[in-house]
Structure 1
């Protein structure tokens, strides 16, 4: 008899953006369902899932999430000037959603299968331009990475995820970069997209 896949029951936070492993996102939390979720995660030290919205909006009726997302852990809390709760989250592992259900308070929960961590690869010589492009983007757009250890720029997975965050990709492209499981393939696809941003 085939072994059953162990699913993790996870609260899901559908967003209009993609969270990548190792990435950070600031969020403002104001709906009761998400305030309760954040409180529970803070109390238990547990994570929640972030998925790109396929249909619907971040607020209001439950949105339809993409099938592949990223576990998020809360690394900071603060009170915003507008009086709302602000949190900073960091992406860890990726997962695939097997099925979802909506609780009475509107919170979407999913049975998810965690993906294994990507193999580590050095950036190959033929893609060596990409870390240099990332350095320029970090300098102008991502101060949180300005003091990143130099060896991260040799890591194909880290470079690919950071480029996918910072380049002006379409949502479906960002989601595709999340779903690719080979870091070298992700870098090659990003290289092929780059000329679109260099015209004019």
Structure 2
């Protein structure tokens, strides 16, 4: 049996949406606990954990987050016209929270096991339709991916994660896609969901 990865401690940011590895997250920060989180991550060059909210809200009392999430690293800052701090973060590895606690300021912190990256697998030929659909979605909805190398479209993990964030899945379906550990199984499940989105 493989040895368990050591736990790392990090601040958690529960959100009403799922962040996937390689995905981009834009946030407006105004609560003091999250301003502290941004300061900490900037000072130490560390990331924070993004987890889907299972119960509660993004603001106010601490929400109950899903155990499996994605580490986000801040890549850019800006100050909005409303004076609020805006950040752009990129999704890194996934993790599973072993235990969590709420600090006195309401910030959630967790001890988490970081998951290794998925093995690289080429998209099997039977999923070529998914590659075409992803190209169309990126053209209309996701300009940040328009210059992705052609090789990205051959990577089963990349294609699956990008489709899971761009297709109109509900949050629980996105969370399920995040938690799957087999990139080809993820593609198969996404293919099976597609008929739902086709116009009659």
TM-score (norm 2): 0.97
| Partner of residue 155, structure 1 | 155
Counterpart of 1:54 in structure 2 is 54
Aligned length: 199
The secondary structure found in structure 2 opposite 1:99 is strand
Q: Secondary structure at the match of 1:128?
A: helix
| CA apart distance, 1:199 | 3.3
Shift in CA distance, 189/10, structure 1 to aligned 2, threshold 3 Å: same
Which residue of structure 1 aligns with residue 33 of structure 2? Answer: 33
The superposition leaves residues 6-45 of structure 1 with CA deviations (integer Å, 9 ceiling, x where unpaired) of: 1111100000100000000111100000001101101110
Detail structure 1 runs of 4+ shifted over 3 Å in the superposition: 2-5
| Structure 1 residue ranges without an equivalent (≥5) | none
Task: Using the TM superposition, give the Cα deviation of residue 82 of structure 1 relative to its aligned residue in structure 2, in angstroms.
Answer: 1.3
Q: Could you tell me how far apart the structure 2 residues matched to 1:3 and 1:162 are?
A: 31
The answer on 1:6 being equivalent to 2:6 is yes
Report the CA distance shift for 1:199/1:39 in structure 2 as closer, same or farther (over 3 A): same
Q: Which residue of 1 aligns with 2:116?
A: 116
Aligned twin of 1:63? 63
With over 3 angstroms needed to count, the CA separation of the structure-2 counterparts of 1:3 and 1:156, relative to structure 1, is closer
Match of 1:75 in 2: 75
Relative to structure 1, the CA distance from residue 139 to residue 152 in structure 2 (aligned partners, 3 Å threshold; closer, same or farther) is same
- Computed over aligned residues only, the root mean square deviation of the Cα atoms, in angstroms, reads 1.2
Partner of 1:177: 177
Which runs of 5 or more structure 2 residues have no equivalent in the other structure?
none
